[in-house]
Amino acid sequence: MKNTVAVLGAGIVGVSCALELQRRGFDVTIFDRTGPGRETSYGNAGVMARSSLMPFNHPGLWSSLSKLLKNNSASFRYNPLFVAKNLPWALKFLASTRAAVFHETTAALDALIRLSATEHRRLLSEAGAAHRLRTTGWLFLYRSEEGFLGSQLSRDTFGKFGIATQALDARELAQLEPHLKPLFTRALWIQDTSSVDSPGQVVEAYARLFTARGGRVQQASIHGLRRSNTGDAWQVTDDAGTVREASRVVLALGPWTREFAKKALGLSVPMAFERGYHMHYRAAGGASLGRPVYDTGGGYVLSPMEQGLRLSTGVQLTDRAAPRNLAQLDLAEQAAREAFPLDARLDSEAWLGSRPTLPDSRPIIGECPGRAGLWLAFGHQHIGFNTGPGTAALLGSMMAGETCAFDPAPFRPSRFLG
């Protein structure tokens, strides 16, 4: 019992934590109601970028806020009722644009992203999935000089953290991505970026590595979590009423964490949902992309994937389970067709997922205050696929009582809990 860990959630975060704890000698079981990498960690854009240290709520947000509040762009939509119901979250989210918070967040995310890059490479190789990794960077595309100049804060921040980038003019962009239509006057090539051709398959490969090393993945919908009467174990109850005990638990339920933590533990997690859609397309006329591109004016990301070109939309801030609204996807598709020769849609239905976001855009990583043995790893907003393995490395060091690769204080649960 002493060394047993129950990991709740088999997204990139849960599976990475399970592998790391197993490597450290713990006896680990993962519980998930679907299977490894079938939810948010399946549908993302597969980008692992150093530039992702820029949170959505950076100091420059204020200059674009009036435009975003019009609620008609492809990059950002919101449900006013959701914002009203989650006003404390929204106010803290906006307050986190303050320079001091921004500096702490970018430094913390930079460290987490760098650690994750090393861990991902190790895991991809150990899991036999290294062929899925592309190291061609990604491109921010600008439809006007004004758009490019508006990205000054991002470019300054990338420079501050030594992130390799190259500004391109239209001719240089055409050389790098010859099949993009001549729509973009400027681009920023972020070279310190890799990407994968199937994030879901990567998580599945990591899960196979975990089971090959003796770990267990249990398909079960978890319903309850409580301390045992003796106080030295946690009891995990599934929907069928089966109770399993473990000395430690890792809560890694991604966007479902808020609901579960409230219901099972009475914990209020200040999480909002930045929902996003994706759709796959065949490229027309043999066109291709060598790397993911982010059309900053069009508000979408287009990534080459195993299934075709994956178009991912920006943010829809609303309840996790609110009805679908495909307006953003339609708008993004229209913009993407202006930029690239896309053929017909390949999926009968758009995929929908939720980026789980805490007010300061940093995940929670660490032991829950006042609940020994309950470890938390959630809230990875736009960058969870990127930062799952670094999260696991930090959590593993903390659980083992070792010094972490860097100071994990910016991710401490006590920011919002206890």
Ligand X SMILES: Cc1cc2nc3c(=O)[nH]c(=O)nc-3n(C[C@H](O)[C@H](O)[C@H](O)COP(=O)(O)OP(=O)(O)OC[C@H]3O[C@@H](n4cnc5c(N)ncnc54)[C@H](O)[C@@H]3O)c2cc1C
Q: Which residues bind ligand X (CB under 6 A)?
A: 9-14, 31-34, 38-41, 43-47, 221-222, 252-256, 260, 276, 278, 312, 353, 355, 378, 380, 382-386
Using the minimum distance from each CB to ligand X, give the nearer residue, 33 or 92: 33
> What does the DSSP 8-state code read for residue 324?
P
What does the alpha-carbon distance between residue 77 and residue 70 come to, in Å, rounded to a whole number? 8
Using the minimum distance from each CB to ligand X, give the nearer residue, 185 or 290: 290
- Please classify residue 150 by burial: count the beta carbons closer than 10 Å to its beta carbon, then call 0-12 exposed, 13-18 middle and 19+ buried: middle
Using the minimum distance from each CB to ligand X, give the nearer residue, 140 or 385: 385
* Residue 229 identity (one-letter amino acid): N
CA-to-CA dists, residue 65 to 62, 70, 83, 274, 406, angstroms: 5, 9, 14, 16, 34
Using the minimum distance from each CB to ligand X, give the nearer residue, 46 or 297: 46
Write down the least CB distance from residue 404 to ligand X, Å.
20
CB 213 within 8 A of CB 22: yes
Using the minimum distance from each CB to ligand X, give the nearer residue, 172 or 238: 238
Phi then psi for 94, rounded to 5 degrees? -70, -35
Using the minimum distance from each CB to ligand X, give the nearer residue, 138 or 340: 138
Residue of 131, 52, 56 whose CA lies nearest to 390: 52
Write down the least CB distance from residue 32 to ligand X, Å.
4
Write down the least CB distance from residue 328 to ligand X, Å.
10
| H or E segment and range at residue 302 | strand 300-305
Please state whether beta strands 374-378 and 248-251 pair in parallel, antiparallel, or not at all (unpaired).
parallel
What does the alpha-carbon distance between residue 13 and residue 385 come to, in Å, rounded to a whole number? 8
Express the helix, strand and coil content of the chain in percent, nearest 5 each: 40, 25, 35
Write down the least CB distance from residue 312 to ligand X, Å.
4
Using the minimum distance from each CB to ligand X, give the nearer residue, 32 or 360: 32
Write down the least CB distance from residue 387 to ligand X, Å.
6
Using the minimum distance from each CB to ligand X, give the nearer residue, 24 or 38: 38
Using the minimum distance from each CB to ligand X, give the nearer residue, 174 or 289: 289
Using the minimum distance from each CB to ligand X, give the nearer residue, 203 or 402: 203
CA-to-CA dists, residue 64 to 40, 105, 116, 144, 219, angstroms: 27, 20, 31, 16, 44
Residue of 17, 120, 140, 31 whose CA lies nearest to 75: 140
Write down the least CB distance from residue 386 to ligand X, Å.
3
CB 385 within 8 A of CB 12: yes
Using the minimum distance from each CB to ligand X, give the nearer residue, 98 or 263: 263
Write down the least CB distance from residue 158 to ligand X, Å.
17
Write down the least CB distance from residue 385 to ligand X, Å.
3
For the chain, state the CA radius of gyration: 21
Write down the least CB distance from residue 268 to ligand X, Å.
18
Residue of 409, 386, 26, 416 whose CA lies nearest to 210: 26
Residue of 29, 11, 371 whose CA lies nearest to 214: 29
Please state whether beta strands 272-283 and 351-357 pair in parallel, antiparallel, or not at all (unpaired).
antiparallel
Write down the least CB distance from residue 14 to ligand X, Å.
5
Write down the least CB distance from residue 223 to ligand X, Å.
7
> What does the DSSP 8-state code read for residue 128?
T
